[in-house]
Amino acid sequence: MQEPRRLSVGDISFLYEQGLIRRLRLAGTEVVRMISVPVRDKNWGTLAPTVLSSSIDETTDRVHIEEVFSVADGKLLADLVFDVRADGFVSANLTFTGKENVQTNRAGFTLLHPIARTTGTALTVSHSDGRATQTRFHEHIAPGQPAIDITGLAHTVGTVDVSITFEGETFETEDQRNWSDASFKTYCRPLSLPFPYTIAKGETVTQRIVINLDRKPESTHQGMAATPTQRIGKPVRLPQICLAVEPGWLTSASLPQDIVPVLRFAGADSWSDEKLRKVAQTHRDVDIEIVIPEGKAAPAVCETVNACLERCGLNAGHVIALPQAYLKSYQPSGPWPAGLSPKACTQAARQTFTKARIGLGMLTHFTEFNRRPPDTSLGDYVTFANTAIVHAADDLSVWETLETLPHIFTSAKALSGDLPMRLGLVSIGMRSNPYGAALAPNPGHAKIAMTGDDPRQREPFAAAYAVAAFALAAQAGVEAITLAAPSGRLGMMNADGSLLPIGKALTVLSALGSDANLMVSEDKVTLSNATGSVSADVSGHGAVHLSGFGEGND
């Protein structure tokens, strides 16, 4: 994909790249994060578009963009037109034509609202029956849809009044911060309708979005709190660094001694004694995640896992057990899986691992944690994970997820009471897919959504992302965070044990010890103490800069 092209007309500016507008601003205030046209397959993967023609016409008072593209090997043809005028009028028009039958979970406009200057503010929603209702862009992350049956939205971003109308489909809004996207998302079609559905051969689908922007006088602006990522200069206690370990992710090399292994048992017999004894060569104390298979009794599985650990000389310091069915995602209203419950698994872990702290939460994302918060009286800590590429996988979208992590931590604290947070795998790539049958295959090693094989894992980009996520977790008081696996698609090492850039970064972070001073700006995070400093550049292609820590680490 080409680099975004910066365009402007009057006081309006925006970035344009294949089939989408992003960071639409009026007089410097971002009012729309993105307008795009994703087409999702039956596993919620995004079908890659093939651009057939594209043109941009610029005049003194108008930018006119036309693009024709196809998806699904030409089975679906799209004609997309954007008009942006200096007077604050913005329109987007879309026509889909089925050349063959195409199955999709969603096809059509998605409009993203930025979280800066909108979080916590009032929102007026117009509905298909002519009613208007009042709600808000929620302060804490909403588990469901804050607005449904949408034909129009009106709100204010800083000094800009924003009015939006939607035509051709029923739209609704969800809080995309659930998946660490830095946006509230208004999309079609509603999740309450069946999916996948078919756009038939010969069928035509048309949609239209119209935005009107009006800048208010400065004196009427009430002010908004800055996003949490703007705080700077703060002494913090650093989280414990952990590694996500499955049997196939071990290498011939030893595990790093200063990083705690989190062993996942997908059933009681998923680890051999040989593999467990290899872990015991460097670590006696480990954390444990137990996935209870369908049809199995939680107490029996927990007892078998505990016996394996004892036989191989390992001690479980932290344990969470969860039914296999809860590796998938469900709407807040359910229906939830029948049979074994998370509570029953927690009780079994408590009865078996009497010396361990027992965890609550989910082994997938904050989304699932938010949709079914735990009973905090049952455990000693909470956990969930995060991936940066659920909805979009371009570099800019990945960096934007760092803007959202503080929102996630704040919302999680509101659900967790006084329990500490010990985060599962926080990474760019996806460990497992709660929203479809499988991870998206990626034989071409492209930057695509919902894959476990992201090409940036082996690059400095992943190191910078991990340092920034670690720093933001420290800012939020997170007790522990898992940032990589030993090897494999989410690894910190090559098969021979040599460190990838992310492995070098984690090694240096662990050398910082338990306390540091944190500085956070829009494009850089820095952790420093008497031992040394680590800075992550989270703009452009990403880089990590080190000072101190001994010869050869600069």
Domain containing 40 — which CATH number?
2.70.98.10
Burial (Cβ within 10 Å: 0-12, 13-18, ≥19) of residue 373: middle
- For residue 551, the model assigns a pLDDT of 39
Q: What is the pLDDT of residues 393-432, one digit of tens each?
A: 999 999 999 999 999 999 999 999 999 999 999 999 999 9
- pTM for the whole structure: 0.92
Question: Of 42, 113, 43, 102, whose CA–CA distance to 78 is shortest?
Answer: 102
- 172, 198, 225 - which closes a domain: 225
Give the CA dihedral 455, 429, 259, 363, nearest 10 degrees: -170
Same domain, 292 and 372: yes
Strands 315-323 and 285-292: parallel
| Cβ contact 111:299 at 8 Å | no
Banded pLDDT at 218 (limits 50, 70, 90): low
Burial (Cβ within 10 Å: 0-12, 13-18, ≥19) of residue 334: exposed
Same domain, 203 and 234: no
Domain with residue 529: its CATH number is: 3.20.20
Question: Of 380, 335, 376, whose CA–CA distance to 356 is shortest?
Answer: 380
Instruction: Quote the tokens at residue 10.
Output: 């009057």
Q: What is the pLDDT of residues 238-260, one digit of tens each?
A: 999 999 999 999 988 899 999 99
Nearest-angstrom CA–CA distance, 382 and 376:
8
Nearest-angstrom CA–CA distance, 252 and 151:
58
Same domain, 47 and 120: yes
Nearest-angstrom CA–CA distance, 262 and 385:
13
- For residue 552, the model assigns a pLDDT of 42
Three-class SS of 207-218: EEEEEEEEECCH
Instruction: Quote the tokens at residue 241.
Output: 């660094």
Please give the average per-residue pLDDT across 282-288, as a whole number.
97
Same domain, 415 and 276: yes
The answer to whether residue 480 sits within a structural domain is: yes
- Alpha carbon 422 to chain centroid, angstroms: 17
The answer to whether residue 319 sits within a structural domain is: yes
Q: What is the pLDDT of residues 52-80, one digit of tens each?
A: 999 999 999 999 999 999 999 999 999 99
Burial readout 285-321 (b: 16 or more C-beta within 10 A, e: otherwise): ebbbbbbbeeebebbebbbbbbebbeebebebebbbb
Burial readout 228-263 (b: 16 or more C-beta within 10 A, e: otherwise): bbeeeeeebebbbbbbbbbbebbbebebbeebbbbb
Same domain, 247 and 215: no
Nearest-angstrom CA–CA distance, 445 and 443:
6
Instruction: Please determine, for residue 232, whether its predicted confidence score (pLDDT) is greater than 90.
Output: no
Q: What is the pLDDT of residues 91-142, one digit of tens each?
A: 999 999 999 999 999 999 999 999 999 999 999 999 999 999 999 999 999 9
Instruction: Quote the tokens at residue 381.
Output: 């800590």
* Element spanning 44, H or E: none
What is the number of other CB atoms lying within 10 angstroms of the CB of residue 377? 8
Burial readout 515-543 (b: 16 or more C-beta within 10 A, e: otherwise): ebebbbeeebbbbbeeebbbbbbbeeebb
DSSP E strands in 284-337: the ranges are 285-292, 315-323
Domains in the chain, number:
2
- 225, 249, 272 - which closes a domain: 225
Same domain, 188 and 260: no
The answer to whether residue 182 sits within a structural domain is: yes
Same domain, 432 and 521: yes
Strands 20-26 and 12-17: antiparallel
- For residue 233, the model assigns a pLDDT of 67
Same domain, 250 and 313: yes
Of all residues in the chain, the percent with pLDDT exceeding 70 is 96
Give the CA dihedral 383, 183, 230, 431, nearest 10 degrees: 30
Torsion region of 409: left, alpha or beta (phi above 0 gives left; psi -120 to 50 gives alpha): alpha
440 contact partners, CB below 8 Å, separation of at least 6: 43, 45, 433, 448, 449, 450, 451
Average of per-residue pLDDT values in the chain:
93
Instruction: Please determine, for residue 223, whether its predicted confidence score (pLDDT) is greater than 80.
Output: no
- 202, 225, 248 - which closes a domain: 225
The answer to whether residue 325 sits within a structural domain is: yes
Q: What is the pLDDT of residues 489-520, one digit of tens each?
A: 999 999 889 999 999 999 999 999 999 999 98
Please give the average per-residue pLDDT across 519-543, as a whole number.
88
- For residue 1, the model assigns a pLDDT of 53
Same domain, 73 and 211: yes
Burial (Cβ within 10 Å: 0-12, 13-18, ≥19) of residue 281: exposed
Place of tokens 């996500």: 244
Q: What is the pLDDT of residues 177-211, one digit of tens each?
A: 999 999 999 999 998 899 999 999 999 999 999 99
| Cβ contact 479:420 at 8 Å | yes
Same domain, 189 and 251: no
Distances (CA, A) of 330 to 143, 192, 335: 10, 12, 7
Per the document, the length of the chain is: 554
Nearest-angstrom CA–CA distance, 544 and 374:
37
Please give the average per-residue pLDDT across 9-31, as a whole number.
96
Distances (CA, A) of 455 to 448, 451, 462, 491: 10, 10, 9, 12
Q: In this predicted model, which residue has the larger pLDDT, 191 or 285?
A: 285
The answer to whether residue 554 sits within a structural domain is: no
The answer to whether residue 514 sits within a structural domain is: yes
Same domain, 353 and 488: yes
* Element spanning 34, H or E: strand 29-36
Place of tokens 């469901």: 144
Residue span of the structural domain in which 381 resides:
229-548
Rg of the chain's alpha carbons, rounded to an integer? 24
Same domain, 202 and 55: yes
Please report the DSSP string for 192-255 in residue order.
TS-SSEEE-TT-EEEEEEEEEEEEPPGGG----PPPGGG---EEEEPPEEEEEE-GGG--SSPP
